[in-house]
């Protein structure tokens, strides 16, 4: 959008419209004084809720170029990203460019172009206002128009099928793809195969890019393009979440299949396995490792990857395992109905996992649909004597699986 100098100069001459907003920027000693953050967030939200657009920073409302101080460009850029991340909900990813443009006196200065794409969802400002760009200004959306926009965006977009703006085809692992498609018809070109399976997709006039699910399942390093796509794992010696009792921590990343297998191995490595020897050794592991595997698969497959800055968290305590998964429950699903209903937030990723095999079990990660939660609840209760608990905290789901007591403990819990 506004890719050439001629296009930019023509827009400046024509003034603000449905695709362009001009903002003069005033800087103080400690950052941007004007415009204020809510104002800029409103413009970003307005474009995202319409068809996209560009905010010209360093340009008066009349289209006269004032520019930005070159020694303060870093401050302006950081301010823009902070507003997009912290003052828009969900956060917005702008594309920033710098252009040299002439002032009225002929001297060239730098103007920053902040490009906003049409949003996947319906963002609001941190002040709770939903704006939409109409002509040369933004308008507040409420009532029926807002409801229609929510309905339209929810129907039109599936997040894990969207192309990742910063990714390229080179981010995909060819060997992983060849293993997955080893029985593909040889007459189908690779490019067509990856497009047809939504591993690659394109937006507008952009080149083909890996989708969210494509990167998670077949990326060389998914976290490089999807920074929240990993598991934060930690072991504590007591029942409390405190750094004083932290024994070990690590970040489990890589492709989704590797994350599942590595998280399973993490629990197997650090959970206690007390033994009795009445007639040969008899181990009593704290957790049913098959249940742990199922729980991690569910977390990877169904978490909300659109929530920026969030990740899966896996904590081992002396008496329990806690698994936190980003994202609330969709539609009318509740904690009570989870064991009896099937929901799939990431349909494309789930389809890949159902055809991929674990290197540790040799079986597909998703062999049956709709039985995972029931199996976690029932098998864990059989193993430990206590039923696991699902709890929802805002936009995060927590699963607590209780450890099986040691056979050396008496009925009071003492060894």
pTM: 0.65
Rounded to whole angstroms, how far apart are CA atoms 127 and 131? 11
> Which tens digits make up the pLDDT trace of 28-41?
888 899 999 999 99
> Which tens digits make up the pLDDT trace of 289-313?
999 999 999 999 999 898 878 899 9
pLDDT at 411 over 50: no
Domain locations in the chain?
5-157, 169-220, 231-402
Please check whether the two domains, 5-157 and 231-402, share a CATH topology: no
> Which tens digits make up the pLDDT trace of 208-248?
999 999 999 999 999 999 999 999 999 999 999 999 999 99
**What's the pLDDT at 412?**
46
Rounded to whole angstroms, how far apart are CA atoms 257 and 358? 7
pLDDT at 255 over 50: yes
- What is the token pair recorded at 167? 């990714």
> Which tens digits make up the pLDDT trace of 190-207?
999 999 999 998 866 678
Q: Which CATH architecture has domain 231-402?
A: 2-Layer Sandwich (3.30)
Tracing tokens 């991929």 back to the chain, one arrives at 356
- Homologous superfamily, domain 5-157: Schlafen, AAA domain (3.30.950.30)
Rounded to whole angstroms, how far apart are CA atoms 338 and 325? 15
Do 142 and 131 meet the contact criterion of CB atoms below 8 Å apart? no
> Which tens digits make up the pLDDT trace of 263-283?
999 999 999 887 666 655 667
């Amino acid at each position: 959008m506004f890719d050439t100098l001629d296009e930019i100069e023509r827009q400046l001459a024509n003034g603000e419209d449905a695709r362009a907003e001009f903002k003069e920027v005033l800087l103080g000693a400690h950052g941007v004084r004007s415009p204020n953050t809510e104002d800029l967030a409103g413009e970003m939200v307005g474009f995202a809720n319409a068809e996209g657009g560009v905010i010209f920073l360093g340009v008066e409302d009349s289209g006269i170029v004032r520019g930005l101080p070159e020694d303060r460009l870093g401050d302006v850029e950081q301010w823009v990203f902070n507003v997009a991340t912290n003052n828009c909900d969900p956060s917005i990813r702008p594309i920033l460019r710098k252009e040299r443009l002439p002032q009225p006196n002929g001297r060239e200065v730098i103007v920053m172009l902040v490009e906003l794409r049409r949003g996947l969802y319906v963002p609001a400002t941190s002040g709770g206002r939903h704006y939409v760009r109409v002509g040369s200004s933004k308008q507040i959306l409420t009532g029926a128009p807002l409801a229609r926009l929510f309905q339209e965006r929810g129907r039109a977009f599936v997040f894990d099928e969207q192309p990742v703006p910063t990714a390229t085809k080179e981010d995909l692992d060819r060997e992983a793809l060849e293993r997955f498609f080893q029985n593909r018809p040889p007459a189908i070109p690779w490019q067509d195969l990856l497009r047809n399976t939504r591993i690659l997709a394109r937006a507008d006039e952009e080149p083909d890019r890996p989708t969210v699910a494509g990167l998670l399942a077949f990326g060389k390093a998914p976290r490089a393009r999807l920074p929240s796509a990993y598991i934060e794992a930690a072991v504590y010696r007591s029942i409390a979440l405190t750094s004083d009792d932290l024994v070990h921590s690590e970040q489990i990343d890589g492709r989704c299949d590797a994350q599942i297998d590595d998280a399973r191995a993490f629990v197997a490595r650090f959970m206690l396995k007390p033994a009795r020897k009445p007639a040969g050794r008899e181990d009593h592991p704290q957790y049913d490792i098959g249940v742990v595997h199922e729980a991690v698969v569910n977390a990877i497959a169904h978490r909300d990857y659109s929530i920026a800055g969030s990740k899966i968290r896996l904590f081992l305590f002396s008496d329990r395992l806690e698994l936190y998964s980003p994202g609330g429950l969709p539609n009318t699903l509740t904690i009570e109905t989870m064991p009896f209903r099937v929901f799939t937030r990431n349909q494309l990723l789930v389809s890949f996992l159902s055809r991929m095999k674990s290197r540790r079990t040799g079986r597909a990660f998703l062999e049956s649909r709709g039985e995972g939660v029931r199996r976690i609840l029932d098998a864990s209760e059989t193993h430990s004597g206590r039923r696991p608990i699902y709890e929802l905290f805002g936009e995060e789901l927590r699963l607590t699986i209780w450890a099986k007591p040691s056979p050396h403990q008496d009925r009071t819990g003492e060894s």
